[in-house]
Amino acid sequence: MANMNGWAGKILRVDLTNGRVRTEDTARYVPKYIGGKGIATRIAWEELKPGVKAYDPENPLMFMTGPFAGTLAPTSGRGIVCAVSPRAYPLEWFTYSGTGGLWAPELKYAGFDGVVIKGNSEKPVYLWIHDGKAEIRDAEKLWGLGAFSTQTRIKAEQGDQTQVLCIGPAGENRVVYATIQHRLSNASGNAGFGAVMGAKKLKAIAIRGTGGVKVADPDEFISACTEVADLIKAGPTWAVIGTPPGPDTVSCTHACPVQCCTMMRKDDPTKLEVGSGTRNMMKHCVDPMYSWGWERTEYPTKYIKEQYTGDIFTRPTKAFGEEIGSELQVIGEGLGMSGWNYVNNYCWISACVDNGITELNGHKLEPDNPEFWRDLLYKIAYRKGIGDILADSLVRACERLDLPDILKKHAHWQEPMWGFASHRLGRAAESQPSPIWIYTMCHWITDSRDPLQSHHQSSWAEYWFPPHHGAGSPDTEFSKVKATFARAFGTGEVIEPGFGHIKEKTRAAAYLGNRANLKDSLLVCDWCFPRLLSGFMSKEELKAARDYYGDLDAETKMFVPLTGLNMSTADLVKAGERVRNLDRALHVRNYNRNREMDSTAEWIFEYPEKSDGSKLDSAMFNKIVDNFYEARGWDKKTGWPTRAKLEALDLGDVADELASIGRLA
C-alpha cells in the first residue's frame, strides 16, 4: 500500500531480553485491520502461542495508535494497549485496554503507529522513543518511585513536552490491577498491564516527536472534523442535555472539543505524593469515588426490594468528601492502581462485615474508615499482609481465604466474568433497565474482559429512558427513542423493554460490537462514538427534535479525506467485524473458548435488574445466546466462528488454522 496518509508507516519492535530494536512496515496491516486493536490482534494471531502467560517474556505488550491519532479528528488522542492479562480469570489470556491523553499523538509524531515489546529485562529500564529512533535506557534510579514522580524525573531529563507512560510500585510488585499511568489520571487500568511492565522490568516509555501526520485532502478533512466536533459538542451520549464547559473542566485527551466531566481539583500540595510536584488532580469516571461515593452499588434497591428473595445484599459505596477523597485518589494513582479498586473492594469488604467477618488474616476490616483505605492501598501495592492476597483480585483471594460460601459468591458477584469488576450489567453496579442489559450481557459473556469500557454506546441509552435508579431523563420522549433506533436498525422494537424481538436485539448488539472494535482501531473516544444518540444543548432543542439520532457515518466522513481511501461506512464496519472475529478465533485457538465458557455467568442474570426487576431463566438465556451467535456467524453448539463467516471477512487463513486443530465450526 503506497498511500500511507493517516498512518506513520512504521511499527517499533523492542526485545528487552537482548536489547534489540527494529522496525517493520505498517503497510502489511492496513487498511485491512485499520490500526489500534485491529493491528494488535493480527500480530497476536501470528505470534502469540498457546500457553504464554502474562509474565512470560513471550507476552507481546503492544501500545497502538490509530489513523486518527495526532490529527484534528475529535477525541483522537486515544491509544490502546494489548497483551496477555494477569487479571483475566480463570485463564490468563489476551485482551485490551484503552487509554486517553497525549501519548498516542506523540508516538505518531515520533514516526510510529505502534510499539511491540517482548522479552523481560534483567534490570529496570525505560524506553526512550524520539523522532524515528528508540533506545533502552537504565531505570535503576526510577525503580520504586510513584507514577507522578517517575514522570517528573523523566521530563526533567528529556524535556517537558515528553509524553510518559509509566508504572508505580503496584506494577513493580505485579498487582493484577496495576495501571500504566499517563499524565495525572489517564491510565490503562483494569487489565493489569502495569504488572506486565513490572514483570518486564520496564518502568516507563518516554516519547517525543516533532513530525506530523499526512492528510490526503486537508480542506475536506478540516471541514469533516468541524462538522463532527459540532455533532458531539453536547458531550458523551449520556448527556441528554449538554452544558458548556466550566472554568475547571479540561480535556482528558488530544483534540477533544467536549470537556465532558473531567475537572481539576485544587488540592493542598502537601497531601499529594511526596516529590511529585503535582498540584491538581483530574476527576472522572470511578477515580473520584473516594470523594463522591456511589449509591449505584446498592443491591437490592428500593425499586425491587419487595419482590427480591435473593441472598446478595450490598451497600452504597461510602463517600469521604473532597479533602480526604482526593488524597486517597492521589495515593492510589501514584501507586499505580485502578480506580475500580475502591468500589470493588468496598462492596466486598463491607459484605464481609455485614456477614460477621470483621477481620481477615489479622487485618481489622473498617470499610467506612478512610485511614483503613490509606493503609490498605499501601499494603496492596507493596503486597504486605492481607494486601498480598487482595492484590490478586477478589475471586483469587477467595481461593486462598477460609470464608463462608456467601462471601465467595459475593466476590463473583463483584467480579462476575473473566476476573473483572462488574460494570453496566444492572446488578452489582449501574442500573441497566431492560432491554439494555441484554445488549451488555451479550458483550460481557463473549468478550475477554469488562467490555463496557469500549461499548458504552450499547449501555448509555439508559440515560434516555424514564427516570430510574441513578439515571434516566424526565425530558425525553420514549417514542423518539424508539424512532432513533428505528432509523439505525430498521425497527424501534430493538429498544423496547422485555424479551420480545430477541433476533433483532441480538443483531443490534452484534452491530454495536462491530462498531466498538472499529472505534478501538480508528481510536476515538468511546464516550462519544459511534454517535447513535445525538445530545442537545437545551431543553427547547431537545423538545423540537423529531428523534434523537446522531450520525453513524461520522467516522467515515473523517476517515476518507484523511486517508484518501474510498471506503464506505459499511466497509469500515466490516473491518470492525473482522477484528472482532479474529479476536474470537485467537481465543478459540489459544484458550479453547467455547459456549460452555461463555455461559458460566448465566446465574448473574437470574437475579433481578436493580431498576425494573427484569431477569431471565436458563431457557431465555440460551435463546439469547443462540440468536447472538447466529447474528455473529458463530456455531450455536460450540460458539466458534464458521468458515463461511471467516472467509466472508477475508480471514481464510484463520479458518484454515482453526480447521487444522479441529476447532472450526
Q: Is the pLDDT of residue 278 over 50?
A: no
Better-scored residue on pLDDT, 283 or 538: 538
- Pseudo-torsion of CA 156, 162, 168, 171, nearest 10°? -140
| Contact call for residues 245 and 235 (beta carbons, < 8 A) | no
- Domain 261-403 sits in CATH at 1.10.569
Q: Which amino acid is at 640?
A: W
Mean local confidence (pLDDT), 448-465: 95
The rounded distance, in Å, linking the Cα atoms of 603 and 617 is 9
Give the containing element (helix H, strand E) for 353: helix 340-354
Q: What does DSSP assign to residue 336?
A: T
Work out whether strand 186-188 and strand 133-138 pair parallel, antiparallel, or are unpaired: unpaired
Domain edges within the chain: 10-208, 261-403, 436-660
The rounded distance, in Å, linking the Cα atoms of 159 and 118 is 27
Q: Could you tell me which of 222, 221, 178, 227 has the C-alpha nearest to residue 199? A: 178
Cell 463491607 found at? 350
Phi, psi of 472 (to 5 degrees): 90, 160
Mean local confidence (pLDDT), 515-524: 98
Q: What does DSSP assign to residue 662?
A: T
Q: Is the pLDDT of residue 19 over 90?
A: yes
Q: Give pLDDT, residue 267.
A: 54
In sequence order, the β-bridge partners of residue 8 are: none
In this predicted model, what pLDDT tens digit does every residue of 331-370 receive, in sequence order? 999 999 998 999 999 999 999 999 999 999 999 999 999 9
| Contact call for residues 88 and 108 (beta carbons, < 8 A) | no
DSSP string, 98-119: EE-SSHHHHHHHTT-SEEEEES
Q: In what order do the strands lie in the sheet with 125-130?
A: 133-138, 125-130, 202-208, 163-166, 180-182, 186-188
The rounded distance, in Å, linking the Cα atoms of 49 and 53 is 10
Q: Give pLDDT, residue 274.
A: 40
Q: Is the pLDDT of residue 57 over 70?
A: yes
Instruction: Let me know how many helices (H) and strands (E) the chain has, helices first.
Output: 24, 18
Burial 549-575 (b: 16+ CB within 10 A, else e): bbbbebbbbbbbbbbbbeeebeebbbb
Confidence tier at 535 by pLDDT (50, 70, 90): very high
Return the number of other C-beta atoms located less than 10 Å from residue 16's C-beta. Answer: 21
Q: Which amino acid is at 339?
A: G
Mean local confidence (pLDDT), 141-163: 96
Q: Give pLDDT, residue 86.
A: 98
Alpha-helical (H) ranges within 235-339 are 289-292, 321-335
Q: Could you tell me which of 185, 179, 176, 157 has the C-alpha nearest to residue 166? A: 179
Q: Could you tell me which of 79, 36, 100, 68 has the C-alpha nearest to residue 225? A: 68
- Domain 436-660 sits in CATH at 1.10.599
Q: Do domains 10-208 and 261-403 have the same CATH topology?
A: no
Q: Which amino acid is at 23?
A: T
Mean local confidence (pLDDT), 193-217: 98
| Contact call for residues 422 and 436 (beta carbons, < 8 A) | no
Q: Give pLDDT, residue 266.
A: 59
Better-scored residue on pLDDT, 534 or 246: 534
In this predicted model, what pLDDT tens digit does every residue of 385-440 receive, in sequence order? 999 999 999 999 999 999 999 999 999 999 999 999 999 999 999 999 999 999 99
| Contact call for residues 422 and 430 (beta carbons, < 8 A) | no
Q: Which amino acid is at 366?
A: E
| Contact call for residues 453 and 190 (beta carbons, < 8 A) | yes
Q: Could you tell me which of 171, 139, 169, 155 has the C-alpha nearest to residue 103? A: 155
Contacts of 464 (CB under 8 A, 6+ apart): 240, 473, 476, 481, 533, 548
Q: Is the pLDDT of residue 571 over 50?
A: yes
Confidence tier at 260 by pLDDT (50, 70, 90): confident
Domain 10-208 CATH class label: alpha beta
Contacts of 544 (CB under 8 A, 6+ apart): none
- Average pLDDT over the chain, rounded to an integer: 94
The rounded distance, in Å, linking the Cα atoms of 64 and 44 is 13
Contacts of 477 (CB under 8 A, 6+ apart): none
The rounded distance, in Å, linking the Cα atoms of 84 and 446 is 17
